[in-house]
Amino acid sequence: MPQRSIRPSSGLANVKYEIRGKLARRAHEMERMGHEIISLNIGNPGVFGFRTPESMRLAMIENMQAAEGYCHQQGIFPAREAVVMQQQNRGIRGVSVEEVFIGNGVSELIDLVLRALLSADDEVLVPSPDYPLWTAAVNLNRGKAVHYPCRPENDFQPDVAEIESRITSRTRAIVVINPNNPTGAVYSRATLEGIAKLAEKHHLVVFADEIYDQMTYEDAEFVPMATLVHGTLCATLSGLSKVYRACGYRVGWAVFSGDLEHARDYLSALELLSSLRLCSNVPGQWAVQTALGGYQSIKELVRPGGRLFESRQAILDGVARSKYLKLRKPMGALYSFIEVRKDALPDFDDRLFAMDLLEHRHVLIAPGGSFNAPYNNHFRITNLPTHEVLADVFRRMEELLDSYAAGQRPAARQATDLKVVEPQRR
């Protein structure tokens, strides 16, 4: 009998995560061939010389003996207690360790909080552009992601009236990503207050993705969503990966506040799902208390003179020098969502540009369409490299865009033709 192909699940039909997709696989192939690739597609601090604070590493090492067995399904007590203390210091009341769930990064928790909530065809309001795991996780868990626009012309701030127009009888929740990935927008207090009132009016669960909560620039104010949501359930999701430069520790948390009285069955369902996976990574949990209670070194990195601030400035300068690029100034997070001017390059396509930039200039970026944006003239880069590396990146981009403007597709270049600026190590 002929061999039959093994077909993947039909549940994956509407699931995509292009940030680690075709382009990233091609970049890996090129690296194996000996090419040096500047990878700007993922916010991975360790790749660019950032280190997890030493106090966190020591806390994990000193408690290694206590980390060899399973822990409670919601996480170790000291870690959950530290999260509660952080919430209380932000003015959020009524939260105990019973409302804190530790997971293998926020990524796992996004899946769990949605799986515990959604039935077939339930709808979740998700921003566009979004961090694509939210859309993927809604679809994986039998729901339907309904995107509400965060328009470039509005500095990527959502419009509350547009959000409300998308609410139906099937809408169960709304996702708020602030500071925003991929746009770098930091939502105003007025916008967040409007979303909170809307969620309370329609009894929607609020999922506040705040993994970049302390990464703001200049005079931007981060307002924790849980300080505004009282009449419905609010889940705040954050973790160690970005602010504390500990992506590989795989430690995130979801803490629930607001109307807990009417959410007990839901939280019990979430505990059940947490139990089914036994527990999350235990060694990394021992770093949480030290991280949240210790010196917040991120503040040095995001203020003027700090490395993240200066790299962000290098991106702003690179865009300002370009004949083709525009940028709404990112006020938070680790990214810039850069626009290519349609008046300068009317036929520009983000995916074609990303592939050409990789193949011919050895720079890996994420096309804007990867983030469920309805337009094809944006792309996202991270500001983790040094300003020297980023200046070189914009030189390479401009060369490629010049060739587009001249009506030419770029010819292949040898790796030796490219001057590679090495990332500085700290």
pLDDT of residue 288: 98
8 Å CB contact between 253 and 109:
yes
Out of 119-128, 299-308, 417-426, which region has the weakest mean confidence (pLDDT)? 417-426
Give the chain's mean pLDDT.
94
DSSP character string of 291-359: HHHS--THHHHHSTTSHHHHHHHHHHHHHHH-SSEE-PPP-BTTEEEEEEPTTT-TT--HHHHHHHHHH
pLDDT attached to residue 335: 97
Instruction: Say if residues 185 and 156 touch (Cβ distance below 8 Å).
Output: yes
Q: What is the DSSP string of 23-53?
A: HHHHHHHHHHTT---EE-SS--GGGGT----
Cα first-last separation, the chain? 60
Per-residue pLDDT tens for 228-257? 999 999 999 999 999 999 999 999 999 999
The 10s digit of each residue's pLDDT in 85-100 is 999 999 998 999 999 9
What mean pLDDT comes out for the span 287-300? 95
Q: How many Cα atoms within 13 Å fall on the side-chain side of residue 295?
A: 7
Q: What is the pLDDT of residues 131-150, one digit of tens each?
A: 999 999 999 999 999 999 99
Whole-model pTM: value is 0.93
The answer to whether 12-41+303-417 and 54-293 have equal CATH topology is: no
Q: What is the per-residue DSSP string for 110-144?
A: HHHHHHTT--TT-EEEEEES--HHHHHHHHHTT-E
Reported as a single tens digit per residue, the pLDDT across 182-197 is 999 999 999 999 999 9
Q: Which of the listed CATH numbers 3.90.1150.10, 3.30.413.10, 3.20.20.60, 2.30.42.10 matches domain 12-41+303-417? A: 3.90.1150.10
pLDDT at residue 14, rounded to an integer? 81
pLDDT at 426: 34
Q: Specify the pLDDT at position 13.
A: 81
Under the banding of pLDDT at 50, 70 and 90, the label for residue 2 is: confident
Residue 330 has pLDDT above 60, yes or no: yes
Helix orientation angle between 22-32 and 350-361, rounded to the nearest 10 degrees? 10
Report the pLDDT value the prediction gives residue 411, as an integer from 0 to 100: 59
**How do the domains of the chain map onto residue ranges?**
12-41+303-417, 54-293
Note the pLDDT tens digit of each residue in 204-235. Answer: 999 999 999 999 999 999 999 999 999 999 99
User: pLDDT tier at 425 (50, 70, 90 boundaries)?
Assistant: very low
**What class does CATH assign to 54-293?**
alpha beta
> What does the pLDDT read at residue 421?
46
pLDDT-above-70 percentage for the chain: 96
- Asked if residue 422 has pLDDT above 70, the reply is no
- Rounded CA separation 97/409 (Å): 58
